[in-house]
Structure formats: structure tokens, C-alpha cells
Amino acid sequence: MAEIIANYGLYAAYILGALAVILVIVLPLVNAISNPKSLLGSAIGFVIIAVLFFIGWSISGNEVIPAYAESNITPASSKLIGGALITMYILGGLAIIAIVFSEVNKIFR
């Protein structure tokens, strides 16, 4: 009896998870269609992150050490991974600077 309940519970969880994924994709699209000006902020954020990734990708190296070569890491994928890591470091640094600035700004208000 418990096995039957567990199986149906898993199926219900799968269905609800799929429904959640569908709604996460569809509802923002419906909102964007009804309010196209809201897309401008998202587009600006996407462009900024793309520029930061291009900067990170441009300054990353494409070296492949023997340990990475065993895992089929190519120079192109090494450069891509390095660019993603540098982008993460830039965004993390900007987040820390924003937090510190916000707290310092609160002190002087």
C-alpha cells in the first residue's frame, strides 16, 4: 500500500514540477506582451552581462594542462570556462561593492 502511495506521489510531484516550469516560462512572456516597456530593463541587464562576459572571455587564457586534456577540455572550452569564471568574479566584486556602498550610504543618511 505504501509503495502505491509513494509511486502516485512521485507522479504527482513530476506533474506539478512540469506545471511549475511551464508557468515560469509562460507567465513572464504574457506579462512582457502586455507591458512591452518592462522588457527594456531586462534587455539592458542582458546586454550588460553579455559585455562583461565578452570582457572576461577576451582576457581569459586558453591553456590546457594535461589533467584537463584527459577530460577532453579543448583550448576553446578552456577559454569559455575562463571567461565564465572571470565574469562571475566581476559580478561578485560588483555585488560586494554595491553592498558596502549601500551600508555606508545608510550611515550618512
pLDDT tens for residues 67-108? Answer: 877 888 888 888 999 999 999 999 999 999 999 999 999 998
Distance CA 88, CA 93 (A): 8
Phi-psi region of 60 (alpha: psi -120 to 50; beta: other; left: phi over 0): beta
Q: Which H/E stretch holds residue 35?
A: none
Question: What is the reported pTM?
Answer: 0.66
Give the model confidence (pLDDT) of 6-44 as tens digits: 778 889 999 999 999 999 999 888 888 888 887 888 889
Grid coordinates 530593463 are at which residue?
41
